[in-house]
Amino acid sequence: KQEVTQIPAALSVPEGENLVLNCSFTDSAIYNLQWFRQDPGKGLTSLLLIQSSQREQTSGRLNASLDKSSGRSTLYIAASQPGDSATYLCAVASYNTDKLIFGTGTRLQVFP
Amino acid sequence: EAGVTQFPSHSVIEKGQTVTLRCDPISGHDNLYWYRRVMGKEIKFLLHFVKESKQDESGMPNNRFLAERTGGTYSTLKVQPAELEDSGVYFCASSPRRAGAEQYFGPGTRLTVT
């Protein structure tokens, strides 16, 4: 049974810092891994999608890596800004099923 | 292109009442998913439609929950009768019909059962 864990659960940093959020999963047989952002009271915004055959994806100040064999993904946020404050969720789609298994998220606060 | 929409955004009902949530997927997306987050827990899968057919309903908690997708377009999720533990945020997502496709989420419906 696939399980997804995110560390840390919460993070508070000053503006400008580079951050690393961690996601680990127990079953390496995955289709893909998605990183989402959720603002309070809002829906999920997809940030990056990494297919199982890929090692990383980049979008602006965000970079996500995937090491399928070790069951790990990291989301790197460069030069953090207060507007990056949100909860970040990772989710994996296991092989032969389309459903996403979510981690509990990392709550990020970036202060000026 | 319009995103996934959900209605209502918030619903407050009493225990024992019935509530119907609606999801309109992105046009042309054959896959439609329902997920929910209950207080303090991670988001969990409920079920998956491919067009109008239920592909996977392994996450449905019990027979008080009924999901339909008439004509393969919008979907409804009915809870009857609602219980206190049904409170949470219900998300809908859609994706094109290909393996490993990105799922696009709606804003969610916050359900409060009192």
Encode pLDDT of A35-85 as tens digits: 999 998 888 999 999 999 999 999 999 999 999 999 999 999 999 999 999
- The answer to whether B69 and B60 have CB atoms below 8 angstroms apart is no
Strand spans (E) along B14-64 = 19-24, 31-37, 44-50, 53-56
Measured CB to CB, residues of chain B less than 8 Å from chain A are 31, 33, 35, 41-45, 48, 55-56, 59, 91, 93, 95, 99-108, 110
Structure-token pair, residue A56: 């990383």
Instruction: Please report the residues numbered 36 through 55 in chain A whose beta carbons come closer than 8 angstroms to any beta carbon of chain B.
Output: 36, 41-46, 49, 51-52
Residue contact A43–B48, C-beta within 8 A: no
B41, B58, B105, B110, best to mutate vs chain A, most A CBs in 10 Å? B105
Q: What share of chain B is helix, strand, coil (3-state, %, to 5)?
A: 5, 50, 45
**pLDDT of the residue at A56:** 95
**pLDDT surpassing 80 at residue B100:** no
- Residue numbers in A near B91 (CB within 8 A): 43-44
- Residue numbers in B near A68 (CB within 8 A): none
A1 confidence band (pLDDT: 50, 70, 90)? confident
**pLDDT of the residue at B1:** 63
**pLDDT of the residue at A42:** 86
